Amino acid sequence: MMKQALLIALLFTVYPTHIFGNIQEQPSRLQATAAALVIQSLQLGEKSQQLFRIKDGLLEKLKAKEGNLGLHEDFIVDAATELKYIATVAYFEGNLLGAVLAIKEEFKLQYINNRLLELDNVVKNTMSSLKPIQIASSTTKDKFTLKQIEMSIKATQSLIEMYKNSIDILQKMLVNNTEK
């Protein structure tokens, strides 16, 4: 509940007020779609921050071992590298998704089409990036590391669902914009 209140407060600080004015002037169906898009954008940013924290925790654990790195630790480094990639993409996708509302009408359809193509690629790439993380999970015996990797797998699977939801939202926006 507090997260939702924080999200709403953040909406008003992140997005210019003229965007919200434009949302309120639209029919309620478009308002709901635009609001869903803003929330999706913020959730992607939040999930990226979670993945960055997990990556940092894994690397911190490896620093403690310094010279004693073996094959197992190489898998953890690979997983941390993939987490950095996944988190970076999620951060930028969240920003690009939120920008849909600020794009001028004459460019909006092309921008949405480009975002749809890119999000489809992001889903595929994120699923591919999940494999080294799953390998690291199967090779670790350290409870802290295993817990961190399992959390990252769940967060990454959640991101994939968010991307798919984003695609659905953008497709609805595309339909709504072509019906005007």
pLDDT of residue 19: 44
- Residue 27 CA to residue 134 CA, distance in Å, equals 45
- Residue 122 CA to residue 23 CA, distance in Å, equals 27
- Residue 40 CA to residue 153 CA, distance in Å, equals 19
For 154-170, what is each residue's pLDDT tens digit? 999 999 999 999 999 99
**Average predicted confidence (pLDDT) for the chain:** 83
pLDDT of residue 35: 86
- Residue 127 CA to residue 92 CA, distance in Å, equals 17
Give the residue numbers spanning the domain of 70: 2-178
For 32-43, what is each residue's pLDDT tens digit? 788 888 899 999
For residue 177, is pLDDT > 80?
no
Q: What are the CA-CA distances from residue 116 to residues 22, 62, 157 (Å)?
A: 23, 38, 19
**pLDDT band, residue 140 (cuts 50/70/90):** confident
Q: How many domains does the chain have?
A: 1
At a CB cut-off of 8 Å and minimum separation 6, what does 85 contact?
A: 129
Q: Is the pTM of this model over 0.85?
A: no
Q: Residue 157 maps to which CATH number?
A: 1.20.58
Position with higher pLDDT, 112 vs 17: 112
**Number of neighbouring beta carbons within 10 Å of residue 51:** 24
At a CB cut-off of 8 Å and minimum separation 6, what does 50 contact?
A: 151, 155
pLDDT of residue 102: 87
pLDDT of residue 9: 46
